[in-house]
Structure 1
Amino acid sequence: MFEDERLEHLIFPYTPLYKKDFPLILFWIPKSGCTTLNRWFFFQNGLLEDVGQQSEGEVHHYRNTIYTQQPDYTKDLSEHLLESKKDAYKLVRNPFRRAVSSFLETICSPNFICLFDRDIDTGLSFTEFLYQLRDLGSEIDSIDRHLGPQYLEGEEEFVNNYIYLEQFNAQIREIENKYRLLKSPLSQLSKSPHHLSALMLKKGKFADAVLTMSSFDWVFPTYESFYNKETKELVQDIFAKDFDMYGFDPNHLK
């Protein structure tokens, strides 16, 4: 039981990164560059080798099953958040780009696409994906955050800084300088099989195309190819709080 109920949905299931002698608390949400941020945190704290040895490099497995399971981790994290003992940062991403990333994750994942009454063989279109998210209304906050909004109700009481994925390298260098941290090998930390940006090369009109994992042969449409007036307005509506809280322009895709 949490001493302050405001914290429970902010800490689980995406537990912020905290260490007693590290100056920052880092919040993150899936599909917003979280793998790179987690690696950066473990690099700064001398734990990347441990990630490799104990979790075969699977940073999320290491965080969930080993790092955050330390005695009093949640208790100490909560105390520091409630007393504002450290600066808290959250990594966020442009909702237009994140919505496409979430869609691609969905059509490639049996566990996600079944939420849309489809399977990975029948596929789904981006437009259909968005309409079903929109129809959830306020219930969207209970859906897996790989698909749902980045914003968590009440986070602004504890998070006082944001790192924008689109400016990640520049902001991380500023943070390293500000807090006198190690200069990290960002090009190495950002390598991940989950990152599809370099493979998104097809141009065309894909908003209404029913797509499956086998549609692509590892060459995906560009982000812009999924957008028309209808899908743009749907993303503006579904993720309105993300646009508002994080200052992204809802009228521009980039």
Structure 2
Amino acid sequence: MMKEKWLESVISPYTPLYAKDFPIIMFWIPKSGCTILNCWFFFQNGLLDDVEEKSAGDVHNYRHFVYTKTKNYQQALTTDLLDKRKDTYKLVRNPFRRAVSSFLATICSPQLICLFNRDIHSGLSFSQFLYNLHDLGSEVDSLDRHIGCQYIEGEEEVVENYIYLEQMCSQIREIENKYRLLKSPLSQLSKSSHHLSDLMTKKGKFANTVLTMSSLNWVFPTYESFYNSETKELVQEIFKKDFEIYGYDIKHIK
């Protein structure tokens, strides 16, 4: 019972992707490439048509409201994790780039930006965003994992392997070969309205610039444009555990 209670704290923030006849269990967290991972998992399990039919193609709604609500899903997942019956992987991302992605998601979302006592019309700067997270300390993870750490306390007890978003294509191909899975159309699966990278073309110094969606008009600053010595140090401190556990270099944004 103690083991089950501990495991629940690891898997409850975001339920891992699991299927009885699929050889691996996939852990994930928001703003770390989770959309493509969900698409890949449902492709491998022949469920993309079901996603389209039942959730209008939204893999997150399908996973949350349909797929993980099937009978005995949580029980079977918990049993297989405790008994170590399947290999486990987690998709992770460079904390520097994820912090910017979380910030952009925040200024676009009424639900997220209100956590900073702002709204989408008043906006927020990246440095203000980071100082708020810094002041919250460990409480940041209880607010919303879109802006909290990727690391979940105790995950190393069940997660054996990491997929790095920056190397995802090559690692996914290795996984498909290793487990004799279908060769997926990754370029097609990666197309999503959640992804802003292609729109991030504006260069400059934006660390302290208050931004709103209307001021950006769907042209966003590059990742590097949000960083100066101050914001870099804040990210290093706020997401210290992510850097340590996943082995990312605290000096390099790319």
TM-score greater than 0.5 by the shorter chain: yes
Q: Secondary structure, in 3 states, of the residue corresponding to 2:145?
A: coil
Flag as ranges the 4+ runs of structure 1 deviating above 2 A.
none
Please tell me the residue identity of whatever aligns with 2:57.
G
SS in 1 for 2:167: helix
SS of 1:105's partner is helix
Q: Is the 8 A contact 2:141 2:147 kept in 1?
A: no
Kept after mapping to 1: 8 A contact 2:55/2:62? yes
Kept after mapping to 1: 8 A contact 2:94/2:248: yes
User: Percent identity of the aligned residues?
Assistant: 71
- Residue type matched to 2:193 in 1? P
Q: State the SS of the aligned residue for 1:66.
A: helix
Does residue 1:89 correspond to 2:89, yes or no?
A: yes
User: Which stretch of the first structure deviates more once superposed, 73-82 or 10-19?
Assistant: 10-19
Paired position in structure 1 for 2:197: 197
Is there any run of 5+ residues in structure 2 with no aligned partner, and where? Answer: none
Provide, for residues 78-134 of structure 1, a one-character-per-residue CA deviation record: whole Å limited to 9, x for no partner. Answer: 001111100000000000000000000000111111110111111100000000000
Aligned letter for 2:143?
Answer: I
73-82 vs 139-148, which moves further? 139-148
TM-score (norm 1): 0.98
Deviations 1:131-170 (A, max 9, x none): 0000011212212000000000000000000000000100
Whole-angstrom CA distance in 1 between matches of 2:141 and 2:103: 17
- In the superposition, the TM-score normalised over structure 2's length comes to 0.98
Using the alignment, how far apart are the partners of 2:166 and 2:232 within structure 1?
19
Summarize deviations over 1:39-62 as a string: whole Å, max 9, x none. 100000000111011111010111
Separation in 1, partners of 2:9, 2:190: 28
What is the DSSP-based 3-state SS (H/G/I as helix, E as strand, rest coil) of the residue aligned with 2:141? helix
Partner of 2:35: 35
CA separation in 2, counterparts of 1:146 and 1:202? 24
Do 1:28 and 1:92's aligned partners in 2 also have CA atoms closer than 8 Å?
A: yes
Which residue is equivalent to 1:251? 251
Cα contact 1:27–1:89 (8 A) shared by 2: yes
Alpha-carbon distance between aligned partners in 2 of 1:79 and 1:164, rounded to the nearest angstrom: 27
> How far has the Cα of 1:2 moved from its partner?
7.9
Count of aligned positions: 254
Give the corresponding residue for 1:9.
9
- Aligned-pair CA distance for 1:212: 0.6
Contact 1:2 1:8 in 2 (8 A): no
Uncovered stretches (5+) of structure 1, i.e. residues with no partner: none
